[in-house]
Amino acid sequence: MANELRFDGRVAIVTGAGQGLGRSHALLLASRGAKVVVNDLGGSSTGGGKSSEAADKVVAEIKAAGGEAVANYDSVEEGAKIVQAALDHFKRVDIVINNAGILRDTSFHKMSEQDWELIYRVHLLGAFRVTHAAWPHMREAGYGRVLFTSSAAGIYGNFGQANYSMAKLGLVGFARTLAAEGSKKNILVNVIAPIAGSRLTETILPKEVTEALKPEYVSPLVAVLAHESCQENGGLFEVGGGFMAKLRWQRTEGVSFKLGRNVTPDLVQGSWQRITDFEKATYPEDVTSAMQPVMDNLGSKSRGG
Ligand code: NAD
């Protein structure tokens, strides 16, 4: 196809690319010309063990299809080594897809500090270390496309996933700040919250659903966000099973109590309907727009209360 999105000359790091979503992203980018660092620790879905097999297999698949890739087996907790692999083999890094992940699901009262800590280390600290190591090279080049992998569990909360939800929504705030900091150097940062059949979901979803939710339905959106033509920045997208949509924050019109007035709990309770009514919702996009009603109130432009 004449106008297909190509990645010739671009170098992509895909973490956790030995299987599931990461493998699918790596195969797609490589099939369109990107040189890919296929990172995977090769451990279990709960973070135990390690093996070179998963990453090697995907590299072999990419090469068999005529693409270029190199395997890396470091944990994302050692993100600088993964970025170094890109520099050693391909001399640059243009795209970082933070995808590696594990689960330590259990209800909160049974959750150990280790369960909490490990999820934090792989999802958040790992994404920090990989991105932080790549960042100066992208700034220097004046180009970068960075993706983070969040989850509906982070956005909405999910029973048995307090640790995972913490990390996954943490990535959204992290990404939005990087989006603000990176844009002047043409480094754009976006987040996906995917749903796909993989070893992480095969225990919770029925077999036929797991099989239908192919990771290949997620990767095309990843490719668009990773492409040089992409102008989207700081976005959060739900994607899976053929569905793709963008999310944003919504806030009620709210109530501004006149300054100087004695704001009692009873007054707040009495205003509850107006505090929680989404009828006249707004969509603050940054800290400045979020602060606007507060600033208006300070300027005594109270809407009453
Ligand atoms: P998966 O288990 O198939 O793949 C994850 C890969 O990450 C594995 O190959 C694993 O070895 C690797 N990995 C784990 N820890 C690592 C580490 N420390 N360093 C390097 N590699 C490591 O899972 P998946 O479903 O493809 O998940 C990919 C990402 O998508 C994860 O971040 C996951 O939380 C997220 N996610 C998945 C779903 C879904 O429905 N599958 C939903 C929401 C979010």
Task: For the sheet with 95-98, list strands across it.
Answer: 68-72, 35-39, 11-14, 95-98, 144-149, 187-194, 236-240, 243-247
How far out from the chain centre does Cα 64 lie? Answer: 29
pLDDT in tens, 74-132: 999 999 999 999 999 999 999 999 999 999 999 999 999 999 999 999 999 999 999 99
Q: Which of 73, 120, 143, 164 is catalytic?
A: 164
> Does 300 score more than 70 pLDDT?
no
> Does 32 score more than 50 pLDDT?
yes
What is the distance between the alpha carbons of residues 105 and 164, in angstroms, rounded to a whole number?
Answer: 8
Q: Which of 155, 154, 181, 95 is nearest to 130 (CA)?
A: 95
pLDDT in tens, 267-284: 999 999 999 999 999 999
DSSP-based three-state secondary structure for 51: coil
What beta strand segments (E) does the chain contain?
Answer: 11-14, 35-39, 68-72, 95-98, 144-149, 187-194, 236-240, 243-247
Q: Is the CB of 22 within 6 Å of ligand 1?
A: yes
Q: Is the CB of 21 within 6 Å of ligand 1?
A: yes
> Structure pTM?
0.96
Q: Is the CB of 163 within 6 Å of ligand 1?
A: no
